Amino acid sequence: MRETLADWRPAIDEAIADLVPRDVDADYLESFFGDPTYEYDSGGIQRALSTPLWDLLDRGGKRWRAVLFLVFVEGFGEDPADYVHYACIPEILHNGTIIVDDVEDGATIRRGERALHHVYGHDIALNAGNAMYFLPLKVLTEDPGDLPAERRLAAYEMLMYELNRTHLGQGMDICWHNERAVRVGVDEYLEMCACKTGCLARIVGRLAAIITGQPDDVEQAVATYAELTAVAFQIGDDILDVEHSLGRAGDFGKEFGNDIREGKKTLLVIHAIEESPPERAERLQAILGADSNTDEEIAEALAIIEDAGSLEYAREFALDLAATAREEIDRLAFDDETTRKLHEFTEFVIEREA
């Protein structure tokens, strides 16, 4: 394994460029997509596919889904260098969902720059994002690891299962977003996270297990580890939004309380509504359901969440999930170095910066 996880990034980006090169030409199109029936327009495909994909990737992102995949592969006793192309599968899928989510959520900023649909138009952005749901699966067909047919079949079936659940999770999230009232409880919130964010993480673990031929119980354990870690991260995000907003609530002109402005039903909000006195719970509901809010209303909502102890509750919850994730790993026979790396992934749940 390379010295630090970040050392893998150039190799991962090189493998992504094998799938979708920065400069598209007819040779690439024929080798990747097959002979054209008539004639490809490589200039059009460059602008429709490669340019937006690399724009997003070049904005940063830690490629942690690809790196986590390679940690698993090494933990399973294989040389990760042989599996870098497979590592691109969850990474490109994830970046595709980001583009599509940003269109669905009407986001304006992504990784510090204008969201892709604001740069290229929503038609190009959406089609590129959707193409990224299928492009990386080509790795399974090209089969650089010369895998037995049953592993390739298992990989496709796993991917279809998890991608179906990803759309369930996104569907629930969008629905709640569009509803004014907070109708759901903690378990439904966690299920939404487990589907929407967790399934892409599960793909990381399950794909590594399937491709290297691990038994079912190992595949399930790494899937659970990845799902729990992803849900804990999501809760961490929700906490950071509130903490960041509480710190900023005095600075006029600064954006704060974004999740509340968007009416997001986070774990903190669900907890605060369940635990606050009725009139304060109703007030929080009203602020979340309003078409727009003043800064004072946002500050009021943040105070209701803080007073309900929802930050402590959510922090404990996320830390518990991360601890359970580590237990899943400890039950497996990984070497100490792999176990250490996998523990490390669960440790940034709350501590990281916004």
Contacts to a copy of itself by CB under 8 A: 29, 33-34, 36-41, 43-45, 47-49, 100, 103-105, 121-124, 126-128, 130-131, 133-135, 137-138, 140-141, 149-150, 152-153, 156-157, 160-161, 163-165, 167-168, 170-172, 174-178, 183-188, 190-192, 194, 198, 227
- Least distance to a copy of itself from the beta carbon of 225, Å? 13
Indicate the residue among 87 and 172 with the shorter CB distance to a copy of itself. Answer: 172
Count helices and strands (H / E) in the chain: 19, 2
Say how far apart CA 90 and CA 69 lie, in whole Å.
8
Q: Which is nearer to a copy of itself, 127 or 339 (CB)?
A: 127
Nearer to a copy of itself, 122 or 254 (CB): 122
Residue 35 vs 279, nearer CB to a copy of itself: 35
CB of 275 to a copy of itself, least distance (A): 19
Which pairs count as long-range contacts for 209-214, CB under 8 Å and 24+ apart, including other chains? 209/72, 209/76, 210/151, 210/154, 210/155, 210/158, 211/73, 211/83, 211/86, 211/145, 211/147, 211/151, 211/155, 212/73, 212/76, 212/77, 212/78, 212/83, 213/148, 213/151, 214/76
Nearest partner of 26 among 46, 48, 55, judged by Cα: 46
**Nearest distance from C-beta of residue 163 to a copy of itself, angstroms:** 5
Least Å distance between CB 40 and a copy of itself? 6
Q: Is 54 exposed, middle or buried (0-12, 13-18, 19+ CB in 10 A)?
A: middle
- Which structure tokens are listed for 258? 């974004």
Residue placing its CB nearer to a copy of itself in the complex, 218 or 231: 231
Give the nearest distance from C-beta 266 to a copy of itself in angstroms: 15
Please say which residue, 185 or 277, places its beta carbon nearer to a copy of itself: 185
Min dist CB 11 to a copy of itself, Å, is 24
Q: Which is nearer to a copy of itself, 3 or 187 (CB)?
A: 187
Cα diameter, the chain: 69
- For the bound state, the minimum distance from the C-beta of residue 36 to a copy of itself, rounded and expressed in Å, comes to 5
Distance between CA 252 and CA 292 in Å, rounded? Answer: 17
DSSP conformation letters of 39-66: ---HHHHIIIIIHHHHHHHHT----HHH
